[in-house]
Chain A
Amino acid sequence: MSPVKTEQIPVLPLEQHQRILGELLLERGGEDVLTTETNWQAYCQRQSPEIQSILTGYDRERLKLYEELILNSVQDTMEGMFPYTQKLLGSAWFALAEKYRRDYPNPSFQLFRAVAEFPRFLQTPDRLPESLKPIWEQCPYLSELARYEWLEVDVLNAPDPVVPLHTEPGVPSSTENFGAWAPVWNPVMHFARFKYPILSIIEQLELDTETCDENGHGLVTASGIKAEDIDYETKQPIEVLIYRDPESEQARFFQLNPMTAALVGIWLTPNETLESKALEKYPSYLSGLLALKQTHLQLASIPQETLLTEAQRFFQQCIQEHILVGSRPVGV
């Protein structure tokens, strides 16, 4: 291979060279710089004479190819992580994914973490292209749907947890022992609260196989359901446990009712990150239940024994579903 000799072309310091490439390939220098020759020339004109003399020798189409390769890898990852959000958005998905890739830096070497901010991105419609705003208005639950999908990805990829010392399998066999034991929740679990009935929305989306009409527009599904047909207003907000099943290593969910959500809420804080849980500081079953009864007026009228029995039934279910990994003696 003959050596490349271009002595007459100045060479920028490497850091500056890489910064310029980063700006171009991630389109931080403005949208569509690489899309047309006119835009490219206009971009070059805005640079200092030295940089201009270098950039004019660059092959815009080759830069564009890299830009597309970068975008494709982000889009592929997003499609795998947000299948229901993608399904709902139909042909609008690609524009949205591209806008996200342009607006959000990617601080992680792991691609799945690069798209962690996508649900937050969907919270702010003013950042969306005008063409996408009607969809956002039609589907105000978009951000929550994406958050649900991200939480599943998060538990699947979380490090293996360290279960606290002295954890015993199961829950106390008698509620008389509730004062001496504290629950040990599955550490790879989110206690998530959603304003919209996300599980019901997913169920409705699962009924359908297509999201676009024959022209690739709109959100018509195979069974004729459109985005505007998705029922989200008549349902109540929901609280869900999303966790990694330690046996199957799959992501699972468990929808809570107001009573069980209040129970879980004694020990866990809704929408807390996985890392911030203080596993070893949980109160005992009994003290937790008593505190709950004192603070929840609707529970105050329930006889204590009934509450204990109901709670034990729920905890047993949590053990079966691997939501609880066991119990540990208080004060050890």
Chain B
Amino acid sequence: MKPKSSQPKEDLPGFSRAPSLVGCPTLGVGFGLRRPLFQETMAHTQLIDWLEITPENYMGKGGKALRQLEEAMSRFPLVSHGVSLSIGSTDPWDEQYLSQLERLFEHVNPPWFSDHLCFSGINWNYFNDLIPLLRTPDVVNHVVDRICFLQDRFQRPVLIENASFYLEYPENKLSDSEFHAQILEKADCGLLLDVNNVFVNSQNHGFDPIAYLNDLPLNRVVQIHTAGHHIYPEGRIDTHGNPVCAEVWDLLDYTLSVTRPCGVMLERDLYIPEFDELRPELEKIRTLWEKHYATEQKALVSR
């Protein structure tokens, strides 16, 4: 038992989470579990309420990976955020991937799972990167079918993440926000809203990030990512290798004022510093979380 994050206020005028997502539990402030910071992460149960794991790092593995997963499970609620599901691919599903993910979920039992709205392989050849999808009505239908399949098979909510993209196809018929909105509504799934990606994309492609957010069905936001990025001559790249920038903090603040997510978390994948350097960012997320969530409703939640 330990004091947990406050529960969401129900005071957001007109806010009502999509019925299919009402059962998602409120988790609070989260952190992306990374091996180099494993021990420090385990020691900070007061600073971190829950962890996000990358399932590909554990699927089909034993040894140290499995031991660490078990220890993390004993201390934190876990959610799963994949990178290789390839939701938008025209390849058939990778059955080995799906069955290994199923086995992992039998072990971890995450309240929901997520991956990116993109494709990450074709012709059974993985890119190990997130390639943007063509944005047309046909592709909306294709992706909706794939998400519905996942929801049926895994019997738990699927969240799609808005990925950063560096390439605009001339054939696109829909804006990025229209594309996401249509898929979210038609597939009746959740949104993992990455506010850093919204900001990076807005800068690279010249749109207003607030207008983008307001185009989305915000009652489907279940989880929020924050992260840092790098500025290169080619533009901003979503590296997860820098501290979160001021504009992204502002965007998170705004987002929390118009949504009621179940959890907000920090990602760090590159140039991973000492854990103490990340502490201020985790504390800032908690400050924003508390700002928008009623403190008087704090509850004791057992692990």
Q: Chain A interface (Cβ within 8 Å of chain B)? A: 1-7, 9-12, 14-15, 17-19, 21-22, 25-26, 54, 57-59, 61-63, 65-66, 69-70, 73-74, 105-111, 114, 156-161, 188, 244, 249
Contacts and interface: CB of A to CB of B under 8 A. Distances in A.
Interface of B: 56, 59-67, 84, 86, 89-90, 94, 97, 119, 121-129, 131, 134-136, 138-139, 142, 166-178, 207-208, 211-212, 215, 234
Contact of B167 (A11, A26, A66, A74): A66
Shortest 5 CB-CB distances between A and B: which pairs? A160-B62, A57-B170, A109-B84, A249-B64, A22-B122
Contact of A21 (B64, B122, B136, B172): B122
A73 B127 CA distance: 9
Nearest to A6: B170
B8 to A, nearest CB: 27
A11 B136 contact: yes
A14 B166 contact: no
Contacts, number: 139
Contacts of B208: 1
Contacts of A74: 128
Nearest to B61: A157
Nearest to A12: B171
Contacts of A57: 170-171
B234 A157 contact: no
A161 B66 CA distance: 12
B122 A70 contact: no
Given A3-B174, A25-B127, A14 B142 contact: yes
Interface of A is mostly: loop
A253 B59 CA distance: 25
A15 B167 contact: no
A109 B122 CA distance: 12
B126 A158 contact: no
Given A65-B234, A108-B126, 19 more contacts: A1-B207, A1-B212, A3-B178, A4-B173, A9-B170, A9-B171, A11-B136, A14-B90, A15-B90, A18-B122, A22-B125, A57-B171, A65-B167, A66-B129, A73-B128, A114-B128, A156-B63, A160-B66, A161-B62
B171 A6 contact: yes
Nearest to B139: A14
Given A110-B59, A160-B62, A73 B129 contact: yes
A25 to B, nearest CB: 6
Given A14-B134, A22-B123, A26-B125, A62 B167 contact: yes
27 contacts: A1-B215, A4-B172, A9-B171, A10-B171, A11-B138, A17-B134, A19-B123, A21-B131, A54-B170, A54-B171, A58-B170, A65-B167, A69-B129, A105-B123, A105-B124, A106-B126, A108-B126, A109-B94, A109-B121, A110-B59, A114-B126, A156-B63, A157-B63, A158-B62, A160-B63, A160-B66, A249-B64
Contacts of A161: 62
